[in-house]
Amino acid sequence: MTPILRAALLLSVVAATLAQLPKAFPQRTRGAIHSSAREIDRSQPPGERLAVISNDDYNGLYFNYYIYPRPTRLYRNLDDYRLDEKHPRTIVYATERARVMPYAAIRAEQMNGFIATPSYAPAGTHFIVPLAASFDGYPPASYTTEGWLKGRANATLTLRPRGLVKTLTINGAASFKDLVYENFGVLESGWVEVASDAPLQASFALVNRGTKSATPIALLRDVPRRPLRIASGEKLWLVNTTADPASATACGAQITLPPYAIESRAATFPCDVTGAYAFGSQKLPDGGTRFTWPDWR
């Protein structure tokens, strides 16, 4: 190689490097993932294993790196976490900054967008959402109740049978990707009583976010007195909407329901029910749910 060619070669690499040098090595600190990992390490009992769930392919691995040698178990998502029977109790959600968070909070933070489309119906000033669920089943099943309220009113939502209460001021519209968790801060199933000082329009749907399926929930404005007939389903749901124990007869069996209780049981359909509100449900192969509402009008 002649000196001229060598100089040309040298110039080419020097020029290419100098052109990019001003933008090189921009990072002066290790970032929030490092500092938060150190904070979490200090805050947790020595040697306690942490579950790490990340919002992408990188942050969990970086957290894992910075918090070593503390034992960890990495999960790609909440489904994997649920599948692991030996999962650590303490969960770290690793995003740009790692945080120790409860399962439900991570679940809520990861919930993007609605699955169902609202189909409003007049709901008056007092109605019941007979099934309100927020729980995760065998992956990918992840159930929430999506809800929409339209109108201008002060509304009180009560989660039954737990009795948790949430008061809302609705100025035009309100919507919930997860009615139960967003309003009551719990992952559980029950039914919701809604009372308002002005009439509302409402729409609710049971959603399986894992399979992106949604099934409308029929609102209950008045519990019928006469017997209900449930035509089909796999599961019979019985709801005691009163503050007193209810003696119900379902498919020929005598049942006592505690106040505000909701119970489910396998049943032979068609099934006649007296003394409680009832509906049927059937899980579909695609992960969705089909409800059978009582024929009582």
Partner 1 sequence: MAGLAIALVVFTLAGAYGPWEERYLRGLAIAGTAMFVGGVAGVPVMVMLAIVVVVAIGHAGARARRPAAVHHEPARPRARAPLATAIMLLPVAIIFAASLTRPLADFDGRVFWVLKAKAIAHEQSIDGPFFRGETTWDPRNRYPLLMPLNGGAVMTIARDLDDGQIRGMYALTFLALLLVIRRRVNPWLAAVVAWIPQFVIVVEGGATSAYSDIPMAAFAACALFDIVSISGGGTGATACPRGEPESTGEGACPPTGLGAYPLTGLGIWLAALTLTKSEGLIYAAVLLVAAAFMHRRRIVPAAALFAVAAASLIVWRTRVPQTDGEDFLTRLPVLPHNLHRLLPALEGVARHAFDVTKWGFFWIAVAICIVIALRRGQWLSPAILGAMLSVFIAVFMVTAWPIDDLINSSVDRLLMQLTGPAVLILSASARSR
> In the block, which residue shows the tokens 């030996």?
86
Residue type, 114: F
Question: Using the rule CB under 8 A, is 69 a contact of partner 1?
Answer: yes
Q: Which of 32, 41, 61, 77 binds partner 1 (CB under 8 A)?
A: 61
Q: Return the residue of 71, 122, 163, 224 that touches partner 1, per CB under 8 A.
A: 71
Q: How far is the CB of 18 from partner 1 (least distance, A)?
A: 9
24 is a site residue for partner 1 (CB under 8 A): yes
Among 68-76, 201-209, 249-257, 283-291, which window interacts with partner 1 (CB under 8 A)? 68-76
Site stretch for partner 1 (CB under 8 A), options 56-64, 134-142, 157-165, 194-202: 56-64
Contact between 6 and partner 1 per CB under 8 A: yes
Helices (H), the chain: 3-20, 32-43, 59-67, 78-83, 103-109, 179-184
Give the C-alpha separation, 5 to 263, whole Å. Answer: 86
Q: What is the DSSP letter of 218?
A: -
Q: What SS3 state is found at 118? A: coil
What are the Cα distances from residue 73, in Å, to 59, 76, 111? 14, 10, 23
Measured between alpha carbons, how far is 113 from 125 in angstroms, rounded to an integer? 28
69 prior amide bond cis, ω within 30: yes
Answer for which of 42, 45, 53, 73 binds partner 1 (CB under 8 A) is 73
Does 268 participate in binding partner 1 (rule CB under 8 A)? no
HSE-CB of 273 using CA atoms within 13 angstroms: 34
* Nearest to partner 1 of 70, 212 (CB atom): 70
Q: Which of 36, 72, 134, 213 binds partner 1 (CB under 8 A)?
A: 72
In angstroms, give the least distance from the CB of 16 to partner 1: 5
By CB under 8 A, name the binding residues for partner 1: 1-2, 5-6, 8-10, 12-17, 19-21, 24-25, 27-30, 34, 58, 61-62, 64-65, 68-69, 71-74
